[in-house]
């Protein structure tokens, strides 16, 4: 009898394990990518400001550039990262679902 991938995962067979590990690894890689992006951009700003004091003389209108970046500019970047992550994570889950249950519509849900 042929087993579905869902059953392979339920019974913790070698095949099911491989599918699960690959899903987890792909989700973890997404999380780490977001973290590294944050470290390289937002979290490195204190070092950038410490290294380049000249940035304080750059003005956006009357406001010094660091205030614009820290007071407002960071937030849209955080939201955009969150949005990109969700798109990626949901796509990974969709393709996992398609792999595990190619004919899901024909089967009743448990």
Partner 1 sequence: MNPTWGIVAVAAVSITTLVIGAFGLRLSRTTSDFYVASRSVSPGLNGSAISGEYLSAASFLGVAGLILVGGADMLWYPIGWTVGYLLLLVFVAAPLRRSGAYTIPDFAQSRLQSLAARRVSMVVVVGIGWLYLMPQFQGAGLTLQTVLDAPRWVGTVLVAAIVTINISLGGMRSITFVQAFQYWLKLTALLVPLMFLLLAWSRDGEPHPVQSQAWLEPLGVATGEHLYSVYAVILATFLGTMGLPHVVVRFYTNPDGRAARRTTLIVLLLISAFYLLPTFYGVLGRIYASDLIAAGRADTVALELPGRLIAGTGGELLTAMITAGAFAAFLSTSSGVTMAISGVVGQAIAAQRPAKGRISSITALRLASVLCISVPLVLALNADSVPIANSVVFAFTLAASTFSPLLILGIWWRGLTAIGAIAGLIGGGIAAATAPFVTLVSDLDGWAGTLLSQPAIWSVPIGFSLMIFGSLLTRSTRPTNVGRTMVRLHTPERVNVDRRY
- Residues at the contact surface with partner 1, assessed by CB under 8 A: 6, 9-10, 12, 17, 20, 23-24, 27-28, 30-31, 34-35, 38, 42-43, 45-47, 49-50, 53, 56, 62, 64, 66-67, 70-72, 74-76, 78-79, 81-83, 85-86, 89-90, 93, 96-97, 100-101, 104, 107, 109-110
Q: Please give the C-alpha separations between residue 82 and each of 33, 59, 91, 92, in angstroms, as whole numbers.
A: 12, 29, 14, 15
- Rounded CA separation 55/65 (Å): 7
Q: How far is the CB of 56 from partner 1 (least distance, A)?
A: 4
CB of 22 to partner 1, least distance (A): 11
Distances (CA, A) of 63 to 51, 56, 60, 67: 20, 9, 5, 7
């Amino acid at each position: 009898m042929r087993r579905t991938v869902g059953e392979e995962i339920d019974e913790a067979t070698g095949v099911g394990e491989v599918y699960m590990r690959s899903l987890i690894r792909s989700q973890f890689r997404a999380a780490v990518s977001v973290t590294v992006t944050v470290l390289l951009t937002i979290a490195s700003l204190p070092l950038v400001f410490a290294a380049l004091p000249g940035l304080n003389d750059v003005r956006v209108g009357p406001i010094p550039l660091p205030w614009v970046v820290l007071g407002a500019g960071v937030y849209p970047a955080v939201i955009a990262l969150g949005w990109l992550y969700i798109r990626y994570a949901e796509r990974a889950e969709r393709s996992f679902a398609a792999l595990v249950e190619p004919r899901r519509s024909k089967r009743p849900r448990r």
